[in-house]
Structure 1
Amino acid sequence: MRALFDRFYKLRLWAQALIVTAFAVASADLLTLFFYAIFFSDRLALDIVLTAIITVLVAYPTSYVFLSKTATVARLAAELDKAATTDFLTGLRNRRDFMQAAQDEIDRTDGSAGAVLFVDIDHFKQINDQFGHAEGDRVLVLVAEAIRASVRETDIAARVGGEEFAIFMPGADLPTARRVSERIWLNCRLVARGTDRGGITTTVSIGLSLHRVSQSLDDLLKEADSLLYKAKKAGRDRVVHTLPHEVVA
């Protein structure tokens, strides 16, 4: 039954109203047929026709208005849901949705849940200061596109801060996470070609941490953040990761 209603709401509004009207006409005529066959059989045919006409005149505009309001409410609810889970500038998930999705992955996994990448655009403040915030926003959008093009379909990519992005890779081992992080690193270097100004560089620093059995999400993120700091301290424009058995202090 739910699948039937889902298919109904995917139809165009006029088609939905038409179906409701047809149902109303059929119901009204059946009732007319029942009562008039008993009490007024001599007027049955005429009254069935009149009932159908009256029902169409009342049901179609009423159902159209009602369904249009329902469709508007459904659209607004979808927009609010998207706004609550999406970063408005880049279209990636926002921090809140990332945290929830990553926690869900950890909760449903008994062993290692995968890997986390923290990605930070190097010297982003200089881009804003030298070229303006509009160009800085364009860089953020282009970097987000580079990340989206680099990760797997199952990966959870988000913008979690001003120029900082995070990716949770469910079920990823170190070689897989390294391949993805290196794609991100390379594709982000190419982002500068899509900007309107010369002289912009778009390198990124990446901290890669593998989730360990029974490790909390907070500890995993702190570890990835510590590795990101090491990447920046080592000169930026690089990926720093743990070994499978290593714990970052």
Structure 2
Amino acid sequence: MVPFLDSLKIGFAHDFLRRYHANLIADTRAVAEFAARPFAESVMLAPGRMVDAAESMLASYRKNDNSGTALAKPKLPMMIYAIGKDMAASPPDWSIRQTATPQEVIVPGDPLNRVLRLRTVNQEFRAQVCFFAPEPTTANSLAMQMHAFATELSNRRFACPYKLAGVPTMWPAVIENPDVIAVDNSTSSEQSNLTILVTDFTIRATIPLLQGARPGEPNDGQGSGTVDDPTGLLNALNGIKIVHGALPSLAPNPMDYTVYEAP
């Protein structure tokens, strides 16, 4: 089972950021090169809070670019993102209702048709996207276009992949605050030709929690009892199909980009 933070990172990058990158308007030469560059060579994942580690992330990037080739100079512009480890419960007025009481469900596509218990929780996370650019005009353009992209309601929604009982499913997340404010973080840089702008987001995500029969509880004998292969409930009364509000999305693939850990 993919940890929920990893699912959120994959969905944020491969759905939200990929669509942003694909819709860039080339208003400077550097933006034109960045837009034409493959997405896998345009984005990196940073650990934890990225503002605190902007310089160390750039140093890590300088060692190798996302194509795996050692570089004497970094390929700029570059987009680095992070999802914070802290989280908070979403307010109850959010449009997607939380399922606190376990519901009996059958995961669509489960070849064993096991009846399992499902709960969902809605949580808020902080995300940051950091733009590294060779000059202010390009950095401002990337941040401005991020604001325009995130303001459009349809663009704020993205899907995160979770495997339930071994079956791939997609679950919704949304950018809650479309008013993106880009903060200049270049003052900490020792390079005069580098502009760093940081944008902050609040993400609200629905996280599924699936459970099979507990140890010692009567079960149907199907499944090994692990998280990825739970044992089905016995004599379940109200087995239903999951309706999880999946959103159209490119198939997320965590191997599409390289994860760089700042030293």
Q: Same fold (TM over 0.5)?
A: no
- Bigger helix fraction: 1
TM-score (norm 2): 0.27
Structure number with higher strand proportion = 2
TM-score by length of 1: 0.28
Structure with bigger gyration radius: 1
